[in-house]
Amino acid sequence: MRVEWPTLMLILGCYGIWASALFLLPEISLTLSILVAAVMIALQSSLQHEVLHGHPFADRRFGEFLVFPSLNLAIPYIRFRDMHLSHHMDATLTDPYDDPESNYWDPVAWGRAQPWQRALYTLNNTLLGRMVLGPAISQVAFAADELHRVRAAEPGIAAAWVWHGVTAGAVLMVVAMAAMPVWAYLAACYLGLSLLKIRTFLEHQAHMRARGRTVIIEDRGPLAFLFLNNNLHVVHHMHPRLPWYRLPAIYFNNRDKYLARNGGYSYASYAEIFRRYLLRSKDPVPHPLYPPN
């Protein structure tokens, strides 16, 4: 389809429900409005991911116009786009320096870390820790790195944050006019980022071969929809231009091929991941195969 209508309709629906959470639901239940807003904030992040890969229009700029203001207030769309496209260089997946989405540390840096840092990041390596502490930890680290890049006059970084400041201010102006208090919206933002940490918790693992680094989670439930089927992550990395609603059919019609591709790095569902890793680390914090030979 020249216009991918399922994605376009989902973008419009996301904003409609988000607005309802701000203006209508607080009159019924503030708790409910926070929860619904958080889910829509997470969904918009998933939709931003779709757009940066060229959906729902043939010209990506039209899609970017629709999702440019980040409802989560934390991550500029331009920086998300640029870093995520860099992340799609599979040869550097999980590299502590070259993969901007890696959660691994350089073992040398880990050896020099303070005891409190080791304790904090070890806790952050459990699913519960990642959901509770992860948004704050990653945002502080991200902001510090971005500030370093701005001071180094890296092209485009400062402009991305200026544009983000403008659009985040516009989002906060809408919130200020709504029935939802600003503090409640900030709580929804944190909760939305926490939901996204479930998706990124084990998308990639350290592996000698690039093809063995990316997971498959055979989930078809609410979280799979919230993440727009990015739980089928091998399929996405192999075919990043496929829209979200085509990924399940592609995967389940070729299941053996994709599981052979990633060496069987797979889970049956997000429920299995919660059972196994809610209070337990899946991986060590220092990259076990770094530096590469």
CA 206 to the chain's CA centroid: 19
- Domain, as residue range, for 159: 5-277
pLDDT of residue 172: 98
List, for residues 101-120, the tens digit of each pLDDT value. Answer: 999 999 999 999 999 999 99
**239 near 267, Cβ under 8 Å?**
no
- Distance CA(72)–CA(87), nearest Å, equals 21
pLDDT of residue 293: 61
Q: Is residue 45 part of a domain?
A: yes
pLDDT of residue 107: 96
pLDDT of residue 210: 93
- Distance CA(38)–CA(99), nearest Å, equals 27
List, for residues 40-82, the tens digit of each pLDDT value. Answer: 999 999 999 999 999 999 899 999 999 999 999 999 999 999 9
Beta strand pairing status for 266-267 and 216-217?
parallel
Q: Is residue 90 part of a domain?
A: yes
Tokens of 22: 């701000």
Q: Is residue 291 part of a domain?
A: no
Percent of the chain at pLDDT > 90 equals 97
- Distance CA(216)–CA(226), nearest Å, equals 16
List, for residues 119-164, the tens digit of each pLDDT value. Answer: 999 999 999 999 999 999 999 999 999 999 999 999 999 999 999 9
pLDDT at 27 over 70: yes
Question: Residues 61-84, buried b or exposed e (16+ Cβ, 10 A)?
Answer: eebbebbbbbbbbbbbbbbbbbeb
Q: Is residue 290 part of a domain?
A: no
Q: What is the pTM of this model?
A: 0.96
List, for residues 236-255, the tens digit of each pLDDT value. Answer: 999 999 999 999 999 999 99
**Total structural domains in the chain?**
1
pLDDT at 4 over 80: yes
Q: Is residue 282 part of a domain?
A: no
- Distance CA(282)–CA(235), nearest Å, equals 22
pLDDT at 183 over 80: yes
pLDDT of residue 291: 87
CA dihedral (206, 215, 36, 168) in degrees, to 10, reads 50
* Total residue length of the chain: 293
Mean pLDDT of the chain: 96
pLDDT of residue 120: 97
For residues 171-176, give the mean pLDDT.
98
pLDDT at 292 over 90: no
pLDDT at 1 over 80: no
Q: Is residue 286 part of a domain?
A: no
Q: Is residue 293 part of a domain?
A: no
Q: What are phi and psi of 266, to 5 degrees?
A: -150, 160
Q: Is residue 292 part of a domain?
A: no
List, for residues 252-281, the tens digit of each pLDDT value. Answer: 999 999 999 999 999 999 999 999 999 999
pLDDT at 184 over 90: yes
